[in-house]
Amino acid sequence: MKVNQKQNFLKGLIKENPVFVYVLGICSILAVTKTLESGIGMSMAVIFVLFFSNVVIALIKNIVPNDIRIPVYIIVITTFVSIVELIMQAYLPDLFDQLGVFVALIAVNCIILGRAEAFASKNNVLSSAIDALGMGLGYTIAICLVSIFREVLGTGVITIWGNAKINLMPVFDFFHVQPSTFFTNNVGAFIVLGIVIGVVNAIVFAIKDKKEKAKKEVKANG
């Protein structure tokens, strides 16, 4: 069956977003979203592992015995996780220190193995690569949104990268409120993630309802 590559890519952004829709990979989102910098770093690592894992699994799917496919997929995934760790340690040591053990835990991220089993093992290399990019970008959107809200509400600034920061304290001062460290702890992370997921899904459902009503009106008038 021919895959529509545009839809294949776009589905991961909102319609089948791994975080907003399937609520996968939230452990890393809760753990490393204190700053936008760490959120971007984690998303880059996830995209790298997801892309190359999908490509390799799509290449070898026909020669891997069905009984051992999951262990083989895990070996492929952990290989690319190890590569990411080595690259970060060599070229981005500060980011590696921020992310800590959660870089290694990409190996058990449900998004990675889920796409390997649900998509890459059943489709060709091109479709699997595009699927990985779409799902990876969807994950990036989710983790960056949560990072921005947590960092702004918790510290009043946005850390873009290194020493590059956007100071939003004048906005807090204008409304006579102060950032709260509550949003930088674990409970705050759960609350922010829940609110973001709720708002995104409310918008998506509202758009769907509007489209369905428009279709019904067209049929009624037709």
Average pLDDT over the chain reads: 90
- Identify the pLDDT of residue 216: 80
pLDDT for 36 beyond 80 = yes
3-state secondary structure labels for all residues of the chain: CCCCHHHHHHCCCCCCCCCCCCCCCHHHHHHCCCCHHHHHHHHHHHHHHHHHHHHHHHHHCCCCCHHHHHHHHHHHHHHHHHHHHHHHHHHCHHHHHHHHHHCHHHHHCHHHHHHHHHCHHHCCHHHHHHHHHHHHHHHHHHHHHHHHHHHHHHHCEEEEECCEEEECHHHHHHCCCCCCHHHHCHHHHHHHHHHHHHHHHHHHHHHHHHHHHHHHHHHHHC
- Identify the pLDDT of residue 150: 93
- Identify the pLDDT of residue 63: 93
pLDDT for 222 beyond 70 = no
Give the mean pLDDT of 7-24: 90
Nearest to 19 by CA among 194, 203, 204: 194
pLDDT for 134 beyond 60 = yes
Give the mean pLDDT of 92-106: 89
